[in-house]
Structure 1
Amino acid sequence: MEFGRLITAMVTPFDERGQINWDETARLIDYLILDQKSDSLVIGGTTGESPTLSDQEKLELFRFAIDKANNRCKIIAGTGSNNTAHSIYLTQEAEKLGVDGLLLVVPYYNKPSQEGMFRHFEAIAQSTELPIIVYNVPSRTMSSLSVKTTLRLANIPNIVGTKECASLEHVTLVATSAPADFKVYTGDDSVTLPALAVGAYGVISVAAHVVGSSMKDMIDSFNQGDVREATALHQKLFPIFKGLFDCPDPLPNPAAIKYALQLLGHDVGEPRLPIIPPNEDEMKFIKELIAVI
């Protein structure tokens, strides 16, 4: 399964009552495919506010995204959690709906051992025929897949890639030693170009909601050998990459990207609690940040 090089971790649009806004979800999917050049969409991931979505909402979103995308891009379902049995249940339900792949986060809070993490992902992989991207994000999970464990997982046939929010050293070591068809994606927009330079295949992105087309150009330029152009695009986009998370103090995702989308005419609503919208200073910063888009 080819998920492409630019994957957008899509926000979940909500209406004024905090319920899923289906009309806006449809418009957003079109926009991400047609305007921002997304190769695949992650539905129900962290940026999609998975911690506050019910299972029913996630499954409805998966079904809706499949129908709306209509084979124009791949749909990757966020079905991971820190409960292996629950992850298997949601995975199998998503598979029945016809999603193209899965994004499975490292178990959070309960802090399993490396062997426990391996068995967690192994059990989910054995429960499905879908291709799986594991998601290593130590800042959120307080646990990190080691390079050794990631490489063990890479030998499971339907574990086809990893989303890495660890160090570039970690990305380098995995990319160097993994099977040739195992894809390494960075989950940090700001290191997309450096990650490509050390062997990553692409990015699973938040900023692609607003600068995806330029990110695609950057990735294409690098892969075509035009490093000068890729570098120029990276430098131009870097303030946006950083600002959406550090505006100017750290702001929990997806608060900033949802507000940025609203400024661009997308009625995606506010985040659900416990994430709150940007305050006045943060809104001013985000307005100035995206004024150049």
Structure 2
Amino acid sequence: MFKNVPIITALVTPFTTEDEVDYPALDALIERMLGEGVTGFLVAGTTGESPNLTHAEKIALFTHVGELLKGKNAVQVANVGTNSTAASAALAKEASAIAGVDALLAVAPYYNKPSQAGMIAHFTKIADASSVPVILYNIPGRVVVTIDNDTIVELAKHPRIKGVKQCTTIDDIAYLVKNTPDDFAVYTGEDGQMLDAIRVGGAGVISVASHVLAPEMLECLTAESAEDIASADELMDDLTPKMNALFRFPSPEPIKMLLAHRGEINEDMRLPMIKLTADEAAQVLERI
């Protein structure tokens, strides 16, 4: 299933001015991206401000998005990862039972700094609790620790651990593609690596930029699939500085600013995330 979804959008969580989840704005955002060809959505991930969502809000989001995507040939990946194994496993059990949740995402345990053996035990508990496939999330820049390649290879033997969102290097992605089962989906979590990841056998990208750049990204991947390498390279060269602009400041601040600038959502975030200054916003806008 995952290898057939080349772009999974890591969704923002829109909020109202009263600090409630803005479901009408979320629905409109998803519907617009579906119309642009996006067929995968990660809900309540880092871009969705997961640390600042309550348990009840996460369950409500997973349920709502599952209902919205029903019959639309799209998949929902629900983020259940925290730095508590017990809490993550409990949420995995609950979320995987929700209709319309097709897979789970679980991040490497942050702050605790576990050993590789500790991470194997952590992810195994989560996968054991889940009734749907689990995607590992390896992002050492945010969580300090790295899930080593060989640890991922070992975890890929679990019958429900079916992928990884890898935010490291293309060499790591190539190694994982080569050394994991064919049904294990290796995604890059870095928009700028999208084309290179596909070229080494990766499944695609779990993306922030696809909120606003999905048509161009899909055009690039279509050219690559057609072996029109020159066109794919040209499209990726145009996309890369735009993608990089969305990470010029802490995410999701730039993408929320841009979506608000387009009139699609409110820019509101929950602390410690804050709105970009006018100067910061201008720096992003001039590069998009």
User: Distance between the aligned counterparts of 1:182 and 1:68, measured in 2?
Assistant: 27
Residue 38 of structure 1 is matched in structure 2 by 38
Residue 78 of structure 1 is matched in structure 2 by 79
Q: Post-superposition shift, 1:277?
A: 0.8
User: Distance between the aligned counterparts of 1:144 and 1:43, measured in 2?
Assistant: 23
- Select which of 155, 160, 169 maps to 2:171: 169
User: Distance between the aligned counterparts of 2:96 and 2:178, measured in 1?
Assistant: 31
| 8 Å Cα contact 2:93/2:131 also seen in 1 | no
User: Distance between the aligned counterparts of 2:276 and 2:216, measured in 1?
Assistant: 25
- Select which of 256, 263, 281 maps to 2:279: 281
Any idea what SS the aligned residue of 2:60 has? Answer: helix
- Structure 1, unpaired ranges of 5+: none
Q: Post-superposition shift, 1:168?
A: 1.6
User: Distance between the aligned counterparts of 1:147 and 1:267, measured in 2?
Assistant: 38
Amino acid at match of 2:71: N
Of 167-176 and 39-48, deviating more is: 167-176
| 8 Å Cα contact 2:9/2:206 also seen in 1 | yes
User: Distance between the aligned counterparts of 2:122 and 2:222, measured in 1?
Assistant: 35
Q: Does 1:9 align with 2:7?
A: no
| 8 Å Cα contact 1:162/1:185 also seen in 2 | yes
User: Distance between the aligned counterparts of 1:223 and 1:138, measured in 2?
Assistant: 31
Counterparts of residues 1-293 of structure 1 (less than 5 Å): 1-2=1-2, 4-35=5-36, 37-72=37-72, 73-98=74-99, 99-246=101-248, 251-290=249-288
Supply the RMSD in Å over aligned alpha carbons.
1.2
| 8 Å Cα contact 1:40/1:74 also seen in 2 | yes
How big is each residue's C-alpha offset from its partner over 1:35-85, in whole Å with a ceiling of 9 and x where there is no partner? 2x2121000000000010000000111111111122321111000111111
Q: Post-superposition shift, 1:268?
A: 3.6
Q: TM-score, normalised by structure 2?
A: 0.96
User: Distance between the aligned counterparts of 1:170 and 1:97, measured in 2?
Assistant: 33
| 8 Å Cα contact 2:133/2:161 also seen in 1 | yes
| 8 Å Cα contact 1:118/1:153 also seen in 2 | yes
Q: Post-superposition shift, 1:223?
A: 2.2
How big is each residue's C-alpha offset from its partner over 1:87-146, in whole Å with a ceiling of 9 and x where there is no partner? 111111112212111011111110110011011111111112201110000001101111
User: Distance between the aligned counterparts of 1:222 and 1:268, measured in 2?
Assistant: 36
- Structure 2, unpaired ranges of 5+: none
User: Distance between the aligned counterparts of 1:257 and 1:201, measured in 2?
Assistant: 24
User: Distance between the aligned counterparts of 1:133 and 1:187, measured in 2?
Assistant: 12
| 8 Å Cα contact 1:30/1:69 also seen in 2 | no
Of 278-287 and 232-241, deviating more is: 278-287
Q: TM-score, normalised by structure 1?
A: 0.94
User: Distance between the aligned counterparts of 1:245 and 1:14, measured in 2?
Assistant: 21
Q: Post-superposition shift, 1:286?
A: 2.3
User: Distance between the aligned counterparts of 1:240 and 1:106, measured in 2?
Assistant: 28
Any idea what SS the aligned residue of 1:190 has? Answer: helix
User: Distance between the aligned counterparts of 1:142 and 1:110, measured in 2?
Assistant: 9
Q: Post-superposition shift, 1:199?
A: 2.2
Q: How many residues align?
A: 285
% of aligned pairs identical? 37
Amino acid at match of 2:30: I
| 8 Å Cα contact 1:263/1:287 also seen in 2 | no
Q: Post-superposition shift, 1:289?
A: 2.4
